[in-house]
Structures are given as C-alpha cells and as structure tokens.
Amino acid sequence: MSEATIEPDTKDWTWVLDQPCPECGFEASAVTVDRIPSVIRDNATTWEAVLTLAYVAARPEPSTWSPLEYAAHVRDVHRIFDLRVQMMLDQDDPTFPNWDQDETAVAERYGEQDPATVAGELLEAAESVAERYDSVPPGAWSRRGFRSNGSEFTVESIGVYHLHDIVHHAWDVRAAVARATVEAYDAHAAAYRDSTFARDDLVLEQARAFAGVVGEGGRVLEIGSGPGRDAASLESAGLSVRRTDVTPAFVDLLREAGHAADVLDPLTDDLDDPQRPGTPYDGVWASACLLHVERGDVPTVLSRLADATRAGGNLALSLKEGDGEAWSTHGSVGAPRRFVYWREPALREVLESAGWRVTGVRSSRSARDGQPWLDVTAVRR
C-alpha cells in the first residue's frame, strides 16, 4: 500500500497548549513538568503492546497510517524532541532544524519496518527523552527555542506539546490498543479461569445485594462475564443472566460449560436481548471489565447500557481506583493488558450524564492483591 495515499498533516497543533484537544481529550493545563517523564514512559508501553499484534502493519483504510507506521513516527518524535530540548538547554534561543514528518515516513518506509525492532527503538528513544526531561534544572524550564517559522517554545511548553503528540497518536490507534488487551485474555483464558473461579465472598455478597434490588427472576445483562464466576453467583441469587464478553476465548469456555454466551462489545454491538427482543434489561452487571475501556469511550458505553435498561433498572459497576492508565502483566495473564483508573468524582459525573442516578460508591481493596477498587451502584433514570 503506497505511502502516497496519506494526506500530509500541515495543521499547526500549537493551539493544544491553550485549549483541550476535542479528539484525544488531552488538557495541557492539567500537565505539570514533573509528570512529563512518567507519561512518556507509560505511553511507550502502549506501543510495545500494540506492536505485538499480528496485523500491526495493516492500515485501517488507505488514507490512515497503520499502527506500525504510527509507532515508527512516535519513535522519531521522541528522537526529534530529545534533540530540541538538548539544544534549548545548551544554547541560547536556538532555531530548530526543520523536520518533515510525512516525508520521513515515506523515505524511511515506516510501513515496512520490523515491528519488534521499532518497539525496541521506541522504548529506547522514550527512555532517552524522559531522562532528558528528568535532567532539566529547576530554573531552566523557561529557556526558549524557535521553529524556523518563528513559533516560540519554552522547555516546559515543548514538553507539554510533545506529550500531546504521543498521547494523541495512542488515541489514533485505540482500536489496536483494545485488541491487544483482548488478545492477552484470549491467549490466557483457561489460566485466568483457573485462578479466579474460586468462591469470592465479597462477590457473593454484592450479587445478593444486587438481586435484592433487581428483584427475583430479573433479567440481567452481564458485561465482561469472563469465565463465569459472577454469573454463577448472580444466578444463585435468583437472577436470569445473559453472559457476554468481548474476548472470544471466554465465550468459548462458557459455552463448553453448557451456558449460552455471546461475544459482545458494549461500545459498538447491538445490546438487544436475543431471548427477549425489544424488552429492556432489569439490570446490568459490569464488574472489573470497563476498566479496559478507553476513558473517552466510557460515557458512550454507559449511555448505551442505560438505553438498554428499563427505567428504574439497576447497575452494578466496579473499576480500579486511581489516576491515569497503565499496562500490567500481573496475575495469570502473562501478556500486557491496559487498565484505566478512575476517581469517584469523575466517575459520578460520567454516570449521571449517561442517564444513571448513583445510589452508592464504596471503596474496597482486593483480598488477593490489595489493589483499590470503586464499587458503584446506580439506578436508570
């Protein structure tokens, strides 16, 4: 596929220093200089995971870069900004050499590069520029540098601008990011089942409480059924459960165990109940699953779930408590999975805007590893 089909990006993106990006959600005003190195390092792990995908070199459409091409670009972005920050620290008011990113992509044949090599080079470039920002003396963040067109940056503003570039490109490949997490579960589904299916008294308590508000025999849509532990608890409490998961291997395990189950992505798929077409659910159970959904997509998912639930229906939701996003290989899943962390105020706001009235938020800690969680109950308006 020819690189010539890509339309060059000639936009001046410096406006993101003054206002939030409406696409990726990046807010420059929320960034402090001490966070720049850690965001760069965290972002690099996203590309490391994405570059393991078998189809990473495939373009989603002829006019859009493949994840591999985006990754090669991000690698070179790190190298360019490393050089520019070094110039600003070593020289007075330097002018940066021009860099044509689109010309470079064609000349370097981004789409033909080896994904494993790009991953290693990207991690190395990210660590180098993160260390560069780590080394900036307290009084040097205001040192200046200039583009050839006269655009002025300080070390601080170029660092924030740099962050938007890499965060935005991770957003550009968000579908691949989601696929990487699904593939991690797909490859380790049986091991995950074996490590999590044991009785969990907290889950059983929550299931009974949920059944109490939904009502005996209520029909519940379960998002992220996994190997089926929670569904078993819900059914033992008197509910009828539609088991679903975005991971095909989990659905296969559920079917092998004799349960009806569907591969379902709550962001894009039809949520209508095949057993009761056109009839809304009495409740939604979404335990430890929406923590893999891109933050900007969570409002859409919650709105779609509200639309699929009757007025007065109930929601039980649990997410990991914390800030930002991170990749992890903990537990029985040996491949990296991406987690999105939430704080109560932001989560409440999203739920209320999506058509749910929050009735309770409880902070808890996992008995297995001590990690903090937010357990939420809500009612469909």
Q: What is the pLDDT of residues 81-115, one digit of tens each?
A: 999 999 999 999 999 999 999 999 999 999 999 99
Closest CA to 111 of 179, 64, 174, 43: 64
Non-local CB neighbours of 323 within 8 Å, separated by 6+ positions: 341, 343
Q: What's the pLDDT at 138?
A: 94
Eight-class DSSP state of 321: B
Q: How far is CA 231 from CA 15, 236, 259, 286, 315, in A?
A: 48, 8, 10, 11, 14
Separation CA 177–CA 292 (nearest Å): 10
Q: With H, G, I as helix, E, B as strand and everything else as coil, classify residue 56.
A: coil
> Exposed/middle/buried for 225, CB within 10 Å: 0-12, 13-18, 19+?
buried
Which pLDDT band holds residue 197 (cuts at 50, 70, 90)? low
Q: How far is residue 319 from each of residues 114, 245, 252, 361, 375, measured CA to CA in Å? A: 36, 16, 25, 11, 7
> What does the alpha-carbon distance between residue 283 and residue 215 come to, in Å, rounded to a whole number?
10
pLDDT computed for residue 11 by the predictor: 75
Q: What percent of the chain stands above pLDDT 90?
A: 88
User: Is the domain 3-172 a CATH 3.40.50.1220 member?
Assistant: no
Asked whether the predicted pLDDT for residue 5 surpasses 90, the reply is no
pLDDT at 7: 76
Rounded mean pLDDT of 7-27?
Answer: 88
Between 197 and 288, the higher pLDDT residue: 288
pLDDT recorded at residue 199: 61
pLDDT at 2 > cutoff 60: no
Domain span(s) for CATH 3.40.50.150 in the chain: 182-380
- Average model confidence (pLDDT) for the chain? 94
Give the pLDDT score at 368: 72
The CA radius of gyration of the chain, in Å to the nearest whole number, is 23
Structure tokens given for 105: 């992509």
Q: Who contacts 126 (Cβ-Cβ below 8 Å, separation ≥6)?
A: 40, 41, 43, 44, 78
Max CA pair span of the chain: 73
Say if CB 321 and CB 372 are below 8 A apart.
Answer: yes
The per-residue pLDDT for 330 is 75
| pLDDT the model gives residue 257 | 97
Q: Where in the chain is the domain with CATH 1.20.120.450?
A: 3-172
Q: Which long-range contacts (CB under 8 A, 24 or more apart) does 213-217 make?
A: 213/283, 213/314, 213/377, 214/239, 214/282, 214/283, 214/313, 214/314, 215/282
Over range 25-54, report the average pLDDT: 95
pTM (two decimals) = 0.86
The pLDDT, as a whole number, for residue 1 is 39
Question: Cα–Cα distance between 78 and 112 in angstroms, integer?
Answer: 20
pLDDT tens-digit readout, 211-249: 999 999 999 999 999 999 999 999 999 999 999 999 999
Reported as a single tens digit per residue, the pLDDT across 294-348 is: 999 999 999 999 999 999 999 999 999 999 899 988 778 888 999 999 999 999 9
Task: Give how far Cα 30 sits from Cα of 16, 75, 304, 370, 377, Å.
Answer: 12, 24, 29, 29, 29
Query: Looking at the predicted structure, is the pLDDT value of residue 209 above 50?
Result: yes
Contact yes or no for 316/285 (Cβ under 8 A): yes
For residue 3, pLDDT beyond 60: no
CA distance 12 to 338: 31
Sign of the alpha-carbon torsion through 169, 42, 341, 52: positive
CATH 1.20.810.10 fits 182-380, yes or no: no
CA angle 245, 47, 126 (to 5 degrees): 150
Give 107-161 pLDDT, tens digit per residue: 999 999 999 999 999 999 999 999 999 999 999 999 999 999 999 999 999 999 9
